[in-house]
Amino acid sequence: MLKNHRGELYLLLGALTFSFNGVVSTVVLEHMSAFRLAQIRAISAFLILLVFALIRNRSALKFSRREIPLLLLYGIIGFALVNVGYFLGIKRGLPLGLVLIIEFTAPIWVVLWIKYIRKGFVARDMWGAILLALIGLVLVSKAWEGFAFDFLGTCGALGSAIALTGYFLLGEKVLADRTPIAATIIGLGVAGLFWALVLPIWNFPTEIFSMRMDIHGYLAGDFLPGWALLLWVVVMGTIVPYICVINGLSLLDASKSSAIGMLEPVLASAFAWIWLNQRWSLIQIIGAMVVLLGIYLADKSKSTSE
């Protein structure tokens, strides 16, 4: 049974690890900027995976000059700019729930691209399933609370949605010629180079590594060193989820993969509920059930490749 649903299982694991990383990242972000965290995530994850690939299968990292534009787009759009838009939206004061809702309109943009630009097939029930999941996300996040319009923040969140769309669509093309782990290494490498150019590494706040951080939640009052939390963010919050998602994308099409990815904000809210005691209201529980129903229907829809 599980063998027939490996793609869904990979994407579920990716959503789980990405979501729990939100709890850990919240702690770290109290002591460093979001852009610096994105920088160390990309560069550190790339270096770890690069060493692994050089030992196990360095030939997987080879690419032709013809592929360079595609790989640059994949790394910058799919790995770096997703974070830029997301953090810009939050920095400009948009509610986190609203930023996530805008970002996870990505499945809609994916199916629109497939239908009208690529001229591919999109099942009718896929449209309804994605709309249903999006309505569920609105209920889970209660995006109407604390609503405040900001032009730059909204543009940033929308840019994040477009970047996430690019991650799934470009990922399909990149995976046509290489393994999931090689695609992840290349994407992180390009993102790491992007962040190194935007934020000079020699100005990195190295004091973060020795800083003691309160991890809050049920373990409030207990402290861990910054290096330990950053190691978690790099390994369990970056390497593992990216590999899981790209493996899922290699087995499913972009529309289904992006729809299943809508689990992430639901799971992030659930972890906040469990760990940080941010209790859900009845409407949020209903919203989570609606999201799950939408994702189930999207997964059951006919593939865009059929």
Task: Indicate yes or no: pTM above 0.85.
Answer: yes
The strand ranges marked E within the chain are 212-214, 223-225
Domain map (residue ranges) of the chain: 7-201+217-300
Per-residue pLDDT tens digits for 70-97: 999 999 999 999 888 888 887 777 776 7
pLDDT at 253 over 60: yes
- Per-residue pLDDT tens for 189-248? 999 999 999 999 999 999 999 999 988 777 777 889 999 999 999 999 999 999 999 999
Q: Report the amino acid identity of residue 130.
A: I
Taking phi over 0 as left and psi of -120 to 50 as alpha, with beta for the rest, 97 belongs to alpha
Torsion of CA 246, 251, 257, 261, to 10 degrees: -50
Task: Indicate whether 116 pLDDT > 60.
Answer: yes
